[in-house]
Amino acid sequence: MSGKEPVAVVGVGQTKHVAARRDVSIAGLVREAAQRALDDAELTWADIDAVVIGKAPDFFEGVMMPELYLADALGAVGKPMLRVHTAGSVGGSTALVAANLIAARVHGTVLTLAFEKQSESNAMWGLSLPVPFQQPLLAGAGGFFAPHVRAYMRRTGAPDTVGSLVAYKDRRNALKNPYAHLHEHDITLEKVQASPMLWDPIRYSETCPSSDGACAMILTDRAGAARAPRPPAWVHGGAMRSEPTLFAGKDFVSPQAGKDCAADVYHQAGITDPRREIDAVEMYVPFSWYEPMWLENLGFAEEGEGWKLTESGVTEIDGDLPVNPSGGVLSTNPIGASGMIRFAEAALQVRGQAGEHQVPDARRALGHAYGGGAQFFAMWLVGSEPPAS
Amino acid sequence: MSRDPSRDVAIVAFAQSDSLRRTDDLSEVEMLMPVLHDVLRQTGLKTSDIGFTCSGSSDYLAGRAFSFTMALDGVGAWPPISESHVEMDGAWALYEAWVKILTGETDTALVYSYGKSSPGSVRDVLTRQLDPYYLAPLWPDSVALAALQAQALIDAGETDEPALAGIAARSRDAAVGNPHAQLRGARPQGDHVVAPLRQGDCPPIGDGAAAVILAAGDRARELCERPAWIRGMDHRIEAHSLGVRDLTDSPSTRLAARRAGAFDGAPFDTAELHAPFTSQEVVLRKALKLDETVRVNPSGGALAANPVMAAGLIRLGEAAAGIHRGESDRALAHATSGPCLQQNLVAVLEGEPHVR
pLDDT digits 0-9 by tens, A55-80: 999 999 999 999 999 999 999 999 99
Interface of A with B in 83-122 (CB under 8 A): 83-87, 93, 96-97, 100-101, 103-107, 120
Q: What is the pLDDT of residue B3?
A: 45
For the beta carbon of residue B46, count every other beta carbon within 10 angstroms. Answer: 9
**Residue B354 carries which DSSP code?**
P
Query: Which distant-in-sequence residues (6+ apart) come within 8 Å of A343 by Cβ?
Result: A91, A92, A95, A217, A282, A367, A369, A380, A382
Q: Where are the alpha helices (DSSP H) in chain A?
A: 26-41, 67-70, 90-103, 123-127, 140-156, 162-174, 189-194, 222-226, 256-269, 274-277, 290-297, 306-311, 328-331, 335-351
Interface of A with B in 221-260 (CB under 8 A): 239-247, 249, 255-257, 260
Best of B29, B50, B69 to substitute, by most chain A Cβ atoms within 10 angstroms, is: B69
Q: Per-residue b/e over A109-126, b at no fewer than 16 CB within 10 Å?
A: bbbbbbbbbbbbbebeeb
Domains, in order of start, for chain B: 5-119+205-223 (3.40.47.10), 122-204+230-350 (3.40.47.10)
Q: Are B272 and B297 in contact (CB under 8 A)?
A: yes
A384 touches B: beta carbon within 8 Å? no
The Cα–Cα gap between B337 and B347 comes to 15
Q: What is the pLDDT of residue A3?
A: 84
Q: Are B267 and B238 in contact (CB under 8 A)?
A: no
Distance from CA of A271 to the nearest CA of B (A): 18
Q: State what percent of residues in chain A have pLDDT above 90.
A: 91
| pLDDT higher than threshold 60 for residue A223 | yes
Stated pTM of the model: 0.97
For the beta carbon of residue A240, count every other beta carbon within 10 angstroms. Answer: 30
The count of residues in chain B is 356
Distance from CA of A382 to the nearest CA of B (A): 18
Average pLDDT over residues A134-145: 69
Average pLDDT over residues A286-309: 98
B26 touches A: beta carbon within 8 Å? no
Distance from CA of A79 to the nearest CA of B (A): 5
Q: What is the pLDDT of residue A359?
A: 98
Best of B57, B86, B98, B125 to substitute, by most chain A Cβ atoms within 10 angstroms, is: B86
Average pLDDT over residues A9-33: 98
For chain A, what is the radius of gyration of the CA atoms?
19
β-bridge mates for residue A102, sequence order: none
The Cα–Cα gap between A65 and B14 comes to 26
| pLDDT higher than threshold 80 for residue A136 | no
- Give the A:B interface size as CB pairs under 8 Å: 195
For chain B, what is the radius of gyration of the CA atoms?
19
Convert B58-81 into a string of H (helix), E (strand) and C (coil).
CHHHHCCCCCHHHHHHHHCCCCCE
The Cα–Cα gap between A80 and A53 comes to 11
Please give the backbone phi and psi of residue A345, each rounded to the nearest 5 degrees, phi first: -65, -35
A contacts of B82 (beta carbons < 8 Å): 239-242
Preceding peptide of A201 cis, ω within 30°: yes
- Average pLDDT of the residues of chain B: 95
Q: What is the pLDDT of residue A135?
A: 59
Q: Do B76 and A244 touch (CB under 8 A)?
A: yes
Alpha-carbon distances of B240 from A77, B152, B246, B313, rounded to whole Å = 9, 17, 12, 22
Q: What is the pLDDT of residue B353?
A: 60
Average pLDDT over residues B337-350: 98
pLDDT digits 0-9 by tens, A84-128: 999 999 999 999 999 999 999 999 999 999 999 999 988 777 776
Name the residue among A4, A217, A223 with its Cα closest to residue A100.
A4
pLDDT digits 0-9 by tens, A229-251: 999 999 999 999 999 988 889 99
Sign of the CA dihedral with A86 first, then A88, A89, and A95 last: positive
Distance from CA of B166 to the nearest CA of A (A): 31
Q: What is the pLDDT of residue B29?
A: 93
Average pLDDT over residues B268-286: 98
| pLDDT higher than threshold 90 for residue B211 | yes
The secondary structure of B129-188 as a DSSP string is TS-TTTTGGG---HHHHHHHHHHHHHHTTS--HHHHHHHHHHHHHHGGG-TT-SS-S---
Query: Which distant-in-sequence residues (6+ apart) come within 8 Å of B22 by Cβ?
Result: B118, B207
Q: What is the pLDDT of residue B66?
A: 87
Q: Is A294 exposed, middle or buried (0-12, 13-18, 19+ CB in 10 A)?
A: buried
Q: Do B237 and A247 touch (CB under 8 A)?
A: no
A26, A65, A101 member nearest B99 (Cβ): A101
Under the banding of pLDDT at 50, 70 and 90, the label for residue B74 is confident
